Amino acid sequence: MHIAKSLRTASRRELRARILEGHPVDPKAIEGFAYRGTSLGLPEVIKRLTWKTFQKTFYREKATGRLLGWNVRLHQDGLDAPSRPLVKDGNPVCVWHYEVIEPRGVPMPKGFDRGLIIDYSRAENPLLDPTRLMKDPLVALTRGNYDELLGVSYAVVGGVCIETPAYFTLERERPIAYVPYRSLK
């Protein structure tokens, strides 16, 4: 059984412990790939209002060397169904853009510095979008294996870190097939 799939029923306490015990992620090992995400740890009412599955991408911008990404909205066909992006105007629906950075100089809860940080404030999200307050530490579930990752969201408000119950697993799915930015292609 895959570790990521076994975490679907894990408690928030266990998920948090996995973040604290997680392993560093090599940014070069994840660039160019789309990962299938599964939301974990959310209260039932929020689960009904949001997506359970999604994609996160990791794309190296050639001009600057920055590791960028975006979330791809998926049809909610079931946890183990193949990913099927929602489409608008012939392209996948891409939301909540981010830059992936090393965990230096970024406010974070104690112990969340083991992997990389997905930072939504460093990408082109709408100015008043609360997503800009969010950061997601990302760790490998097994040392040196970047096929299964674990993340959690926290907000930074006025320099204070506020943990959320929004954990997620990422499982490597395929090379990125669509880049939503013309300037990056």
In contact, 117 and 137? CB cutoff 8 Å: yes
Does 185 fall in a domain?
Answer: no
Does 176 reside within a domain? Answer: no
40 in any annotated domain = yes
Main-chain phi, psi angles of 161, to 5 degrees = -90, 130
Q: Please write the tens of the pLDDT for every residue from 96-125.
A: 999 999 998 899 999 999 899 999 999 988
Q: Is there a domain that residue 96 lies in?
A: yes
Structural domain includes residue 67: yes
Domain that residue 136 falls in = 3-171
Residue 116: CATH number of its domain? 2.40.128
> Which residue type sits at 107?
P
Is 126 a domain residue? yes
Number of domains in the chain: 1
Q: Is residue 178 part of a domain?
A: no
Model pLDDT for residues 136-148, shown as the tens digit of each residue: 999 999 999 999 9
Residue 41: band (very low, low, confident or very high) from pLDDT cuts 50, 70, 90: confident
Phi-psi region of 146 (alpha: psi -120 to 50; beta: other; left: phi over 0): alpha
- Asked if residue 181 is part of any domain, the answer here is no
